[in-house]
């Protein structure tokens, strides 16, 4: 048994106090180590940098020397039957990946707080959560198994092993809450700083979405589920756990009383909840063999993140329309901006989604100014590869199979028994279901960089796709009427900019765009276009004065020296996506039935 006592010690210093007791034999040496990363977020984060005042002693209070092994590990030798370790953890990162503590709330993931006793991971782990100096009104929200807790949730918790212990985050503070049931299992939603939101509406809308996912897999492998949401002025993100998820959302995206229509922001929030809930199966139980074997001390490279995040991204919005929470046209309105992001990413021609998955640790999670030209998102492109895989299974089986069937097969083969998916496991299972090779698809679109035939794939689902130039910088595409004519495209500089201390700074220069061809670079500060001072407010106006193909003089600062160059402006590329539902009268029976099946509830 490994015992931890966690005290909410000092909110002003943002410090938790942790005490740890390890039962050992006299003379045994024990290595203690903290994870370097958290499952679901594939970047080395070095959580041990926040540990301070690490001490060890015996059961008899004799101080024991701690030998530092590396940036996150220590070794201590026992003199009697127990080693006692104490330390403090600085916690002031307001994200879903780490830990946070002040006088308004406490939040933590076990990967940030609990040292692992190497060789003792499979023993039961017990946590004693102590309130310290926090206000009486604070409540505890978690899915870790309660052993003996008070009415607020403070007390003892039990985990079967270390990895179960660190997979149950805690949200502690004053909460607003709601809930619903799926297949008779309670689903609780806890919100921080969202007391005015219409939480009953959220529960009503999210319940059928979760039920849709559960019906697709045919099983709900949990006794309870918890959504923990921090509402902020401009936040977004989530992290999956085995029986819960931590979310950050924009407060304005939540629904408020007396509003009936689902706003774009609220759709985004529901899709985020849908995404993390789908991970209950796809990532937390169906997971790459490499990640299943990881001890979290170093990178665990896999080419499969495109499937685990991309397939999840495909289903997160699709479930909203299948559950009848949004209309098909609203689904296309969500899909179109995602396609626009895909077409605007030149890196798709240089990096495959398999490479993007493998290099997530050093490229996707550590993007620089050249990222749009060099890498591709395994979330974004992965979701469209998933669409293509769905199309392939349907078309080659005469609509007998779909991606739903592949996911159910993955669940039965790998999820039910928690058997890791090998690196080629998904394509082999798809080939097995079809009884034919799928190498052509995987070589072209997963391991290769061939352009996805999205117009064909969507067309076979009865959806039209049209590419056009952007009307302005905020134009990301949308669902439209089939015969609607687009507005005139704006001129483009081929660069992404932001306001910086009164200047207009170039953040990214896009491959072979006007800015790159003229020698402009990331970090340059734009001063004037054709002799007129340029700002974020007037850049579009100045760019649209000349006709496409004409030159303008650009004055800019680089390394504090005034420079100038000539830029040949051009109309925005045809990389803004519009989608529309092709009229049923124009579809053959097979396509019409395929679209209906694609958008219809599995529960039906």
pLDDT attached to residue 576: 96
- Beta strands 125-130 and 2-10 are parallel
pLDDT at residue 120 in the model: 96
Is the separation of the CB atoms in 378 and 357 below 8 Å?
yes
Q: pTM of the predicted model, to two decimals?
A: 0.96
Helices (H), 402-537: 403-410, 425-434, 439-441, 454-459, 514-517
The residues near 184 (Cβ < 8 Å, ≥ 6 apart) are: none
Q: What is the CA radius of gyration of the chain?
A: 27
Alpha carbon 86 to its chain centroid, in Å, reads 33
What confidence tier does 603 reach under pLDDT thresholds 50, 70, 90?
confident
Proportion of the chain above pLDDT 90, given as a percent: 95
Q: Give 191's pLDDT tier (boundaries 50, 70, 90).
A: very high
**Alpha carbon distance 268, 261 (integer Å):** 14
Q: Render pLDDT for 543-575 as a digit per residue (tens, 0 to 9).
A: 999 999 999 999 999 998 999 999 999 999 999
User: Which residues make Cβ contacts (< 8 Å) with residue 252, sequence separation at least 6?
Assistant: 265
Asked whether the predicted pLDDT for residue 473 surpasses 90, the reply is: no
For 206-228, what is each residue's pLDDT tens digit?
Answer: 999 999 999 999 989 999 999 99
Give the model's pLDDT for residue 260.
81
Measured CA angle at 487 (ends 486, 491), to 5 deg: 120
Burial readout 272-293 (b: 16 or more C-beta within 10 A, e: otherwise): bbbbbbbbbbbbbbbbbbbbee
Q: How many residues does the chain have?
A: 604
Structure tokens, 377:
């998102």
Q: Is 66 exposed, middle or buried (0-12, 13-18, 19+ CB in 10 A)?
A: middle
Q: What is the pLDDT of residues 305-347, one digit of tens each?
A: 999 999 999 999 999 999 999 999 999 999 999 999 999 999 9
User: What CATH class has 491-571?
Assistant: mainly beta
List the structure tokens of 80: 């009697």
Residue in the block written with tokens 């081929």: 494
Phi and psi at 399, nearest 5°, equal 65, 20
E-assigned strand segments in 42-120: 51-58, 66-70, 73-77, 82-90, 99-101, 105-108, 116-117
Q: Between 380-396 and 328-343, two packed helices, what is the crossing angle to 10 degrees?
A: 120
175-263 CATH: 3.30.2010
Q: What is the per-residue pLDDT for 231?
A: 97
Write down the architecture of domain 2-173 according to CATH. Sandwich (2.60)
In terms of phi and psi (left: phi > 0; alpha: psi -120 to 50; beta: otherwise), the region of 571 is beta
Q: In what order do the strands lie in the sheet with 73-77?
A: 66-70, 73-77, 29-33, 116-117
Q: What is the mean pLDDT of residues 597-601?
A: 96
Residue 191 is encoded by which pair of tokens?
């919100």
Q: Is the pLDDT of residue 427 over 70?
A: yes
Output the CA–CA distances (angstroms, integers) from residue 493 to 346, 522, 537, 563, in the order listed. Answer: 15, 13, 15, 17
Cα–Cα distance measured from residue 465 to residue 437, given in angstroms and rounded to the nearest whole number: 29
Task: Note the pLDDT of residue 10.
Answer: 95
Class of domain 281-487+585-604: mainly alpha
* DSSP per-residue letters across 288-341: BHHHHT--SSS----S-HHHHHHHHHHHHHHHHHHTTSS-HHHHHHHHHHHHHH
At residue 20, what are phi and psi to the nearest 5 degrees? -135, 135
Q: Is 371 left (phi over 0), alpha (psi -120 to 50) or beta?
A: alpha
How do residues 124-157 score in pLDDT, each as one tens digit?
Answer: 999 999 998 899 999 999 999 999 999 999 999 9
**Residue ranges covered by each domain of the chain:** 2-173, 175-263, 281-487+585-604, 491-571
CA-wise closest residue to 134 among 157, 99, 156, 107: 107
> What residues form DSSP beta bridges with 90?
15
The pLDDT score that the predictor gives to residue 540 is 92
C-alpha to C-alpha distance for 376 and 385, rounded to whole angstroms: 12
Q: What is the pLDDT of residues 105-120, one digit of tens each?
A: 999 999 999 999 999 9
> Has residue 470 got a pLDDT over 80?
yes
pLDDT at site 28: 93
- 227 — phi, psi (to 5°)? -100, 120
Structure tokens at 30: 């024990």
Confidence of residue 261 (pLDDT cuts 50, 70, 90): confident
């Amino acid at each position: 048994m490994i015992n931890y006592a966690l005290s909410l010690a000092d909110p002003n210093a943002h410090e938790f106090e942790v005490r740890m007791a390890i039962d050992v034999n006299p003379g045994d040496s024990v290595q203690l180590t903290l994870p370097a990363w958290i499952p679901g977020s594939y970047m080395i984060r070095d959580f041990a940098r926040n540990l301070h005042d690490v001490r060890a002693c015996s059961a008899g209070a004799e101080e024991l020397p701690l030998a530092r092994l590396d940036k996150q590990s220590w070794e201590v030798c026992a003199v009697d039957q127990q080693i006692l370790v104490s330390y403090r953890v600085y916690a002031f990162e307001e994200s879903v990946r780490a830990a946070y503590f002040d006088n308004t709330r406490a939040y933590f993931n076990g990967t940030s707080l609990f040292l692992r006793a190497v060789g003792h991971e499979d023993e039961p782990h017990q946590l004693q959560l102590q309130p310290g100096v926090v206000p009486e009104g604070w409540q505890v929200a978690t899915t870790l198994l309660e052993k003996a807790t008070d009415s607020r949730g403070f007390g003892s918790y039990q985990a079967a092993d270390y990895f179960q212990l660190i997979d149950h985050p805690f949200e502690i503070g004053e909460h607003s809450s709601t809930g619903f049931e799926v297949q008779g299992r309670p689903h609780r939603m806890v919100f921080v700083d969202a007391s005015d939101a219409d939480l009953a509406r959220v529960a009503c809308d999210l319940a059928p979405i979760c039920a849709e996912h559960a019906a697709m897999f045919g099983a709900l492998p949990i006794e309870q589920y918890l959504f923990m949401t921090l509402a902020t002025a401009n936040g977004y993100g989530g992290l999956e756990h085995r029986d819960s998820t931590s979310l950050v959302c924009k407060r304005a995206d939540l629904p408020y009383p007396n509003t009936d229509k689902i706003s774009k922001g609220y759709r985004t929030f529901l899709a985020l909840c849908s995404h993390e809930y789908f991970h209950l199966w796809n990532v937390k139980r169906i997971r790459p063999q490499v990640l299943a074997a990881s001890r979290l001390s170093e990178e665990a490279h896999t080419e499969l993140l495109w499937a685990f995040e991309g397939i999840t991204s495909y289903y997160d919005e699709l479930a909203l329309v299948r559950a009848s929470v949004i209309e098909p046209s609203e689904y296309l309105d969500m899909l179109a901006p995602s396609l626009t992001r895909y077409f605007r990413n030149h890196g798709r021609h240089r990096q495959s989604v398999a490479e993007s998955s493998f290099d997530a640790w050093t490229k996707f999670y550590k993007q620089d100014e050249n990222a749009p030209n060099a890498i591709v998102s395994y979330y974004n492109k992965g979701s469209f590869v998933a669409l293509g895989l769905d199309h392939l299974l349907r078309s080659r089986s005469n609509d007998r199979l779909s991606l739903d069937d592949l996911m159910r097969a993955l669940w039965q083969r790998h999820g039910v028994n928690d058997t890791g998916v090998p690196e080629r496991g998904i394509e082999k299972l798809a080939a097995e279901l079809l009884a034919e090779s799928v190498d052509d698809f995987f070589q072209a679109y997963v391991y290769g960089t061939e352009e996805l035939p999205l117009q064909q794939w969507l067309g076979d689902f009865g959806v039209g796709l049209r590419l056009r130039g952007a009307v302005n910088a905020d134009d990301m595409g949308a669902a439209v009427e089939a015969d609607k004519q687009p507005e005139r495209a704006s001129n483009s500089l081929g660069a992404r900019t932001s306001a910086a201390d009164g200047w207009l700074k170039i953040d990214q220069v896009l491959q072979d765009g006007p800015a790159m061809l003229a020698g402009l670079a990331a970090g340059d500060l734009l001063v004037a276009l054709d002799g007129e001072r340029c700002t974020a407010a007037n850049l579009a106006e100045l760019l649209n004065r000349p006709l496409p193909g004409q030159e303008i003089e650009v004055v800019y600062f680089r390394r504090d020296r005034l420079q100038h160059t000539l830029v040949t402006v051009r109309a925005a590329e045809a990389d803004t996506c519009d989608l529309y539902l092709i009229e049923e009268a124009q579809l053959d029976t097979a396509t019409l039935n395929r679209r209906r099946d694609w958008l219809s509830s599995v529960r039906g």
